[in-house]
Amino acid sequence: MKRILCYGDSNTYGYDPRSFLGDRYPADVRWTERLACDTGWEVLNAGQNGRCIPWRALELAQADQLLDGCGGADLLAIMLGSNDLLQTSGFTARDTAARMENFLWHLLVRSDVGAILLISPPPMRTGAWVTEERLLTESARLAREYEALARRLGIRFADVGQWDVELVFDGVHFSEAGHRAFARGLRSLLERADSL
């Protein structure tokens, strides 16, 4: 049985954008739980609302603490970058990929990290949270930057933009149908990788 640690932001956590208090979609909606149910794999949800790519010393230490406490995994799936673009004025896809590269190097020196899958979030769409052209442009460019980064580091890569993941009114968060599509896409990717 696979053991997958999913390290991400609100779309991994399962944030329900209809909630004003940070509530989650029910477990049977969230892509992490759907993936576990559909495959029998152990899927650990380490999503956190608002999380950016760790780059400060404290953030890196918190990531290490989380990894230390999880007891190891066959695969570490990382999907981050949207909040870096949303929260940092003028940030580009290239800036985001550079921050991600530093984080990945931090992880790669750990002896307990198995395979790593770098997941590029779906491009943002115009919505309540996405009103700048920069966000549309740079989030669309992120997959290309992440793919090149994954190739340089010799790790797996997934482009969620290819999975028809539906976003809600804010232009950032997965709808219920989006969670289903994400779980299908990730399952298919991982099953194909195992057959190689």
| pLDDT at site 196 | 38
| pLDDT at site 19 | 87
Residue 24 phi/psi, 5° resolution?
-105, 160
CB-based contacts of 186, cutoff 8 Å, min separation 6: 31, 35, 77, 119, 158
The residue type found at 132 is E
Contact 191, 35 (CB under 8 A): no
Any idea which architecture 3-195 has in CATH?
3-Layer(aba) Sandwich (3.40)
pTM: 0.96
Sign of CA dihedral 59, 20, 176, 34: positive
Sign of CA dihedral 84, 51, 192, 153: positive
Sign of CA dihedral 160, 98, 113, 26: negative
| pLDDT at site 159 | 98
Percent of the chain residues topping a pLDDT of 70: 98
Residues of the chain with pLDDT under 50: 195-196
